[in-house]
Amino acid sequence: MKYFSLNNNSKDVGFIEAIERGLAPDRGLYFPKEIPQLSNHFFKNIKRYTDSEIAFRVIHPFIGNDIPKNILKEIIKKTLKFNFPIVNVSKNIASLELFHGPTLAFKDVGARFMANCLSYSNKIKNKKITILVATSGDTGGAVANGFFKLKNIDVVILFPKKKVSVIQEYQLTTLGKNITALEVEGSFDDCQNFVKNAFIDPDLQQKINLTSANSINVGRWLAQMFYYFSAYRDLPKTDKKVVISVPSGNFGNICAGLVSKKMGLPINHFIASTNSNDTIPRYLNSGEYKPKKSKQTISNAMDVSDPSNFIRIQKLFNNDLFGLKKSVSAYSYSDKQTEKAIREIYKLKNYIIDPHGAIGYLGLNDFINSKTDPENFQGLFLETAHPIKFSKTIENIINQKIQIPKEIKNILKKKKMSIPIKDYNQLKSFLIAK
């Protein structure tokens, strides 16, 4: 499989080179030259396959000969060491829990897969790589954990000051060793722009080998397909139309879902559920892409006004807005609506969801109820992070303490370490000095 830049001004590369670069030299995101199709036989027999077997069949066409099959299978086994349970919330709505990995967030899948792919590459090439990543919440912790202590790999994480939860900050600032956290005076969009600028800075390109572990990296992005296929396998056999609601910030996760659909996964429709950072819902309504300054919300991982991965979604649909709207709907919700959903689900099912999952639930509920035949739909919303990460907010809403998992108890005993920066020049100076 070859990958080309969506800016169309760089040479095509293979999978390993794409993940090593992160962004193409022309600052474009890499995109596969083709979307492979899976056979009807595979889907008819999907219940026979394990998570690892499904993941191999899904990802191997995107990697080709860049990683030998036996090594790829081992990478997948190391990645998928936890489950993705489905929990019923109502008659035709269920939660897909993606927070059972080591950092209690869905991003563990992509981060662990990419880390193991780069580790394989490094054993062959024996060169030092610096991973530069921006985080609005869970990415930082997942990447830090996935790459911790890997030989010849340094990780530099940029996070917006006072705009991630306390637990998220502990997860990305307490490891030390090859992990460094930079606390940025600004928003996630500022952090993301710093990262993009670093990749096209000729001074840095001459001095260090940079790549990114954000979902702009194909290794992080494509691995998120794994749980869509596993979830489809685990749903009860039904003639109902399957719809999936994805809490969406940088739009990498829903983009992976849409690639899965293009490969043949029988998902009827996707819903992009956002907080008040509503660039995409407005775009689907008006046809005009107009990002605004990002707003801080209680669903902080989605506080993104200009989502990097949306250009990939546009490419999937050949910039056909009408075609995109046939497969994707988008809704946005305020903090008050999010809090109300958390409260109602807890009272109804004694089930605690985090603010991002609550927004996914709201989008799914509104979509199904907008149909004349809601009983003919089976909906899944993604519960992307463990509620403990937002304990202060959630406990105030439900008037109930959340039990702290042992993984978090251990982290809270550690000392936070971060370096404050205000602008790109400070980031550049730090990277050169490092």
Active site residue ranges: 107
CB-based contact 333:273 (threshold 8 Å): yes
List Cβ neighbours of 289 (8 Å cut-off, separation of 6 or more): 279, 283, 310
CB-based contact 250:307 (threshold 8 Å): yes
How far is residue 79's CA from residue 391's CA, in Å, rounded to a whole number? 27
- Written as six digits, the tokens of 394 are 């959630």
How far is residue 4's CA from residue 24's CA, in Å, rounded to a whole number? 8
CB-based contact 345:93 (threshold 8 Å): no
Of 288, 305, 283, residue with least CA distance to 296: 305
List Cβ neighbours of 376 (8 Å cut-off, separation of 6 or more): 240, 241
Length of the chain: 434
How far is residue 127's CA from residue 369's CA, in Å, rounded to a whole number? 54
Of 389, 297, 395, residue with least CA distance to 337: 297
- Longest CA pairwise span in the chain (Å): 62
How far is residue 427's CA from residue 278's CA, in Å, rounded to a whole number? 29
Strands 129-134 and 153-160: parallel
Burial class of 409 by CB neighbour count within 10 A (0 to 12, 13 to 18, 19+): exposed
Across-strand partners of 132? 156, 212
CB-based contact 50:222 (threshold 8 Å): no
Residue 274 main-chain phi, psi, to 5 deg: -120, 165
Q: How many C-beta atoms surround the C-beta of residue 388 within 10 A?
A: 21
